[in-house]
């Protein structure tokens, strides 16, 4: 299927305020991470969408059997409470044992009205053995916030342009990650490519600090426009970063440079 052919008028959408939380994570200690993020989230007030890193309660761990929460567990409750408290959507991924018994690297999308949506990571990082401990997601998911169409993805998904390719008239691609410093060059080159090829904004949140295996993370959280130009670059800092996206800019660019009209049709099996 080709993308951006819905005829939807996006120029009248309100501005979208994002808050990206780039920080260290306490290894295998959800309670400590909840407390740490609660303090940081005070700096995110006023945002419509607050984005946390991948596996924000534990760090990127393969100890799924010991760390997995049930559906509707502690992270569900905590995210719901924070979303209500801050009147914003809050999202990030955690280790979940699904109803079918499988373990999932699951992005939770907590709305302030209490509704919880999710996306399960499709591409599992085999170089760390993630595919041996988790089951992959089967479908792309699109969220809507104030009329904006947002598609969440997780870390290693970034390397796969077919899965990242937009058949859904997406306005914002959202990546949450634990992307190691050793491959920061790839992170910083692939993110602009995803923005350019999909003619949409891209926001990406990564962690900083070292994990329990000693792997360092360089951060580099960023927000890019539809031409791959940076609107926000975090580098290695620790804290909450704010940016506002303007749908009028996106609509004007798509009208001026309608490459989507020549997009190839495709199907994902």
Q: Which residues are known to be catalytic? A: 54, 121, 155
| Cβ count near 122 (within 10 Å) | 19
Task: State how far the Cα of 196 lies from the Cα of 225, in Å rounded to an integer.
Answer: 8
Task: State how far the Cα of 85 lies from the Cα of 58, in Å rounded to an integer.
Answer: 23
Closest CA to 238 of 211, 215, 217: 217
Q: For residue 104, give both structure tokens.
A: 């999932």
48-to-14, 31, 84, 116, 118 alpha-carbon distances in Å: 11, 25, 12, 16, 18
Q: For residue 2, give both structure tokens.
A: 């080709």
Q: CA Rg, the chain, in Å?
A: 17
Read off the DSSP letter of residue 258. -
Closest CA to 260 of 144, 165, 162, 191: 165
The H or E element spanning position 86 is helix 74-86
**C-alpha 113: how far from its chain's center?**
20
């Amino acid at each position: 299927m080709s993308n951006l052919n819905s005829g939807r008028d996006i120029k009248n959408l309100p501005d979208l305020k994002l808050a990206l939380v780039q920080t260290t994570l306490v290894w295998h200690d959800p309670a400590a991470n909840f407390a740490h993020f609660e303090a940081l989230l005070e700096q995110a007030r006023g945002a419509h969408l607050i984005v946390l890193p991948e596996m924000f309660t534990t760090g990127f761990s393969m100890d799924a059997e010991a760390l997995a929460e049930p559906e509707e567990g502690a992270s569900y409750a905590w995210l719901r409470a924070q979303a209500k408290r801050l009147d914003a959507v809050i999202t990030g991924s955690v280790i979940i044992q699904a109803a079918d018994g499988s373990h999932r690297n699951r992005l939770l999308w907590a709305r302030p009205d209490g509704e919880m949506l999710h996306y399960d990571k499709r591409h599992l990082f085999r170089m760390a053995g993630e595919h041996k401990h988790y089951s992959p997601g089967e479908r792309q998911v699109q969220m809507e916030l104030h009329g904006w169409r947002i598609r969440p993805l997780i870390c290693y998904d970034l390397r796969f342009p077919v899965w990242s390719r937009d058949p859904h008239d997406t306005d914002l691609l959202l990546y949450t990650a634990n992307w190691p410093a050793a491959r920061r060059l790839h992170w910083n080159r692939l993110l602009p490519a995803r923005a350019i090829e999909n003619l949409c904004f891209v926001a990406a949140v990564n962690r900083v600090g070292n994990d329990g295996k000693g792997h360092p993370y360089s951060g580099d959280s960023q927000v890019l426009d539809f031409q791959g130009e940076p609107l926000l670059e975090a580098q290695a800092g620790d804290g909450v970063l704010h940016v506002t996206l303007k749908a009028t800019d996106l609509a004007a660019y798509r009208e001026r440079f309608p490459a989507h009209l020549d997009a190839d049709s495709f199907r994902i099996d």
